[in-house]
Structure 1
Amino acid sequence: MSTGSAPAGPSTPSKKRSKWEDDDLDQGQQLEHPQKRRAKSKGSTPALSEPRQVSNTGASNNPKPKPTLKSKVLHSQYVPERTRHPEIQSSRSVYCYERLNQIEEGSYGVVFRARDKQTGDIVALKKLKLEEEKNGFPITALREIYALMSCQHENVVRVREVVVGETLTQVFVVMDFIEHDLKTLLTSMPSPFLQSEVKTLMIQLLSAVNHCHQNWILHRDLKTSNLLMNNRGTIKVADFGLARRYGDPVGLGGLTQLVVTLWYRAPEILLGATKYSTAVDLWSVGCIFAELLLKEPLFQAKGEIEMISMIFKLLGPPTKESWSNYTELPLAQTITIPPPQPNQFRSKFPYLSTAGLDLLMSLLKYDPEKRITAAEALKHPYFKESPLPKHPDLFGSFPSAAAGEKRRKPDSPSAPARAQNYKLVTEFDIP
């Protein structure tokens, strides 16, 4: 074959350049036509389609091209830079934590108190129950992790990370450790909270619930055992195992009725409502408000029928004025409504102020459409009247049952015991 300059024959089809190879180009470099890029002169200098531009300063050695509309854009202007999205890293091992003791066990997991071996921080380690799962990772666990990450608030428990064990069924959620839960604290306290302390706790609870609702999250299991409190007077909402987004499309069966612990369950759920919203959380907040005042749960029913009768007794039977669409509920026709009677709020809470009673009745209203919202409750006059809410730092500290602490009895000297041959000291015995 001759190596001279023979006329070019039919050229082989060039390899199509992918979009991933284009990313290797500089940001200011323009894309050239494939034919022009392959065309080469006999000399060593490639033929350019346009003459090289020379800057005004006279420098002609490798001038930096000016950005034009045809410049290659490496990412969309609507997408944040990569530095704002860190790389996904593998989960740490659960053995990075030292397990101290078990705190409690629920329907969806077991909570332990643990210590981070690197930092020494005390954390709450929640092991998800995945042993009996047949369809992969449970939706309840996904909802809980998503809700906790979406509702980052000073009064919502913070998720630190998710760690794994040796098998796929060992998944742990690492959260901040809080010393007390309100249910245990109320039963062990020698006296109930003061009015100023109740207001502080209610403001924190309503702030957390309002933040969750603004992020389209329903908690659906608010109760005193799911409210954690530290020794600095700050409470945090925990246990989002039944939480979900209420803006998502609902299936044909509607929202599940197996939500909220019975004593804190709203009447519309008790009567079979398949559509509900943020009002179910506010009913639970009203029950918690009453429990803080009474130092015991408001409705201690053994079943749903007894729960409905206790609500009827406190609020009075529902009427067309108090609950217009009551008859449209699935189980409304199966309940016998007692004769009309006034509510029993004043006799049940004789020491509560008029503004406080109005807030409680606004939270415990039959009609979900008329029930007060969390944002409206935060502006209620009850929180502006005397006594004003106490600063959280002024709260007293209590021994942590989760940490195995016990209340210490005050040390005081015992009375003197009379000895058998005891003699009183007289003035003659003193030298």
Structure 2
Amino acid sequence: MEHYERLSKIGEGASGVVYKARDRRTGETVAVKRLHVGDGEYSLSEETFLREVRCLEACRAHPSLVDLRAAHHGPDDAGAFLVMEYVGPSLAQVMREDRAGRPLAEAEARRVMRQLLEGARSMHELGVLHRDIKPDNVLVDNRGDVKICDFGLSRTTDTAADGAPYTSGVVTLWYRAPELILGSRDYDAGIDTWALGCIMAELLAGAPLFRGRSEMDQLNKVFDTVGMKDMKSWPGFARLPRAESALCNRSRPPSRLREMFPALSAAGFDVLSGLLACRPDSRLTAADALRCPWFAEAAAPEAMPDQPLAPCGAFFTASVAGVAKAIVA
């Protein structure tokens, strides 16, 4: 790691600390993630490190997924490091700080969602579940492109070949699919597409759609918003550990999703409601979502104007006509 000069701290999560750094050999700016090791948890961190490396290597070279440059696992006191491309601020920073909660126009949201879904489709085709997609784990570069990052909770589906169940304790609460809250340990890529539906709603509303204070509060908010249509007829529902919860047996109104997004086009709503289908076997896959008419709706590609960066990483800039067309960071 002597080849990298630490410049500044970018962020810190449960699995490690991320720094902005410079490669002394090439001058390239990179992101270096140091995983937490020691304190009696070394073996767990080592397993997490190896799993994250495996998932990042599987997803290399896709424009919507962060690229791994190098990985290093030293002695116990040296730690474990991942060197990745440096992209820019997170989508969460941009939406909640630079835009101060102002929603995106539909064309802007479509541009972001196209890239996120393309990244997710590639991940899933490669047999990788991200298991923590959220705005904090989406980065925005200076050309307006977005990339999914932080594969610390990811795993490859072939690791389940031994029959060991997945853990249900994944995905940050506000973006956690209902089957996870109900205790499912037999889930699939639908947990990632649910999270992408939550991000789509957040882009269009300017704020997270489901802001639960606990798992049960989160589930209640989900059911009150999208209803429970056909949920109980889902073949796996009765086997879920929390299927008998009072929340699952309460009378619910029909979905209120449409009235919450009245300006969204019919094609756009088909994508949103398909990603936020409560019943996982009815939920859109990333590949199916990309085939929806919404992504063919624009008369021309949502091209990004070539403009300099604004102070503080401002997110959207307006075109000459005054219509916001792009994301910059």
Separation (CA, whole Å) in 2 of partners of 1:363 and 1:134 = 38
1:150 aligned residue:
58
- Alignment correspondent of 2:26: 119
Q: Which has the higher contact order (CA 8 A, sep 6+)?
A: 2
Aligned equivalent of 2:170: 259
- Within the candidate set 364, 367, 374, 2:276 is matched to 364
Deviations, residues 228-248 of structure 1 (Å, cap 9, x unaligned): 011101111100001001133
CA–CA distance in 1 between the matches of 2:23 and 2:305? Answer: 27
Distance 1:327 1:118 in 2: 58
Cα pair distance change 1:388/1:293, threshold 3 Å: farther
| Cα separation, partners in 2 of 1:232 and 1:320, compared to 1, 3 Å | closer
What per-residue deviation string (whole Å, max 9, x for no partner) do you get for residues 353-406 of structure 1? 1111111111111221111111111111111224655124568844456xxx9x
Aligned counterparts of 2:303 and 2:240: Cα–Cα separation in 1: 44
Amino acid at match of 2:110: K
Structure 2 residue 200 is matched with structure 1 residue 289: yes
1:341 matched to 2:250: no
Q: Which runs of 4+ in 1 moved over 6 A?
A: none
Which aligned pairs between 1:45-64 and structure 2 lie closer than 5 A? none
Whole-Å separation in 1 of the counterparts to 2:307 and 2:115 = 14
**Correspondent of 2:91 among 170, 182, 196:** 182
Letter aligned with residue 275 of structure 1 = D
Displacement after TM superposition at 1:135 (Å): 2.9
Deviations 1:184-233 (A, max 9, x none): 10012154332222111111100100000111000000000000011101
Which has the larger strand fraction? 2
Alignment of 1:3-82 (within 5 A): none
Q: Distance in 2 between matches of 1:192 and 1:394?
A: 22
Shift of 1:171: 2.2
Cα deviation for residue 119 of structure 1 reads 1.7
The whole-number CA distance in structure 1 between the counterparts of 2:81 and 2:252 is 52
Which amino acid letter does the alignment assign opposite residue 127 of structure 2? W
Distance 2:186 2:307 in 1: 40
Following TM superposition, by how much is the alpha carbon of 1:334 offset from its aligned partner in structure 2, in angstroms? 2.0
Larger Rg: 1
**How far apart, in 2, do the equivalents of 1:247 and 1:396 lie?**
44
Residue 305 of structure 1 is matched in structure 2 by 216
Residue-by-residue CA offset, 1:288-339 (whole Å, 9 max, x unaligned) = 1101111111111110110111011111134467645423322111233222
Alignment of 1:200-239 (within 5 A): 200-239=111-150
TM-score normalised according to structure 1 size: 0.67
Partner of 1:390: 302
| 8 Å contact kept, 1:103–1:112 | yes
Q: Distance in 2 between matches of 1:309 and 1:136?
A: 33
**Does the CA contact (< 8 Å) of 1:290 and 1:297 recur in 2?**
yes
Could you tell me which residue of structure 2 aligns to residue 77 of structure 1?
none
Q: 1:395 to 1:386 in 2, by over 3 A?
A: farther
- Aligned equivalents of 2:298 and 2:180: distance in 1? 36
Return closer, same or farther for 1:379/1:123 CA change in 2, 3 Å cut-off: same
Kindly indicate whether residue 14 of structure 2 is the aligned counterpart of residue 103 of structure 1: no
Overall identity of the aligned pairs, in % = 37
Question: Deviations 1:154-199 (Å, cap 9, x if unpaired)?
Answer: 1111111124668654222111111110001001215433222211
Distance 1:301 1:271 in 2: 14
CA distance in 2, matches of 1:124, 1:320: 42
CA distance in 2, matches of 1:159, 1:116: 14
From the two aligned structures, give the one with the greater helix fraction.
Answer: 2
Helix, strand or coil for the counterpart of 1:138? Answer: helix
Assess if the C-alpha contact under 8 Å between 1:179 and 1:400 holds in 2.
no
Does the C-alpha gap of structure 1 residues 388 and 260 become closer, same or farther in structure 2, counting only changes over 3 Å?
A: farther
Kindly tell me the number of residue pairs found equivalent between the two proteins.
Answer: 310
Query: TM-score, normalized by length of structure 2?
Result: 0.87
**Structure 2 residue identity aligned to 1:376:** D
Unpaired runs of 5+ residues, structure 2, are 315-329
Q: Residue 161 of structure 1: SS of its match in structure 2?
A: strand
Q: Distance in 2 between matches of 1:129 and 1:338?
A: 43
Q: 1:150 to 1:381 in 2, by over 3 A?
A: same
Output the CA distance in 1 between the equivalents of 2:78 and 2:38.
6
Matches within 5 A, 1:322-337: 323-336=234-247, 337=249
SS at match of 1:100: strand
Q: Which residue of 2 aligns with 1:317?
A: 228
Cα separation, partners in 2 of 1:328 and 1:389, compared to 1, 3 Å: farther
Deviations 1:391-422 (A, max 9, x none): 24568844456xxx9xxxxxxxxxxxxxxxxx
> Quick check: 340-349 or 205-214, which moved more?
340-349
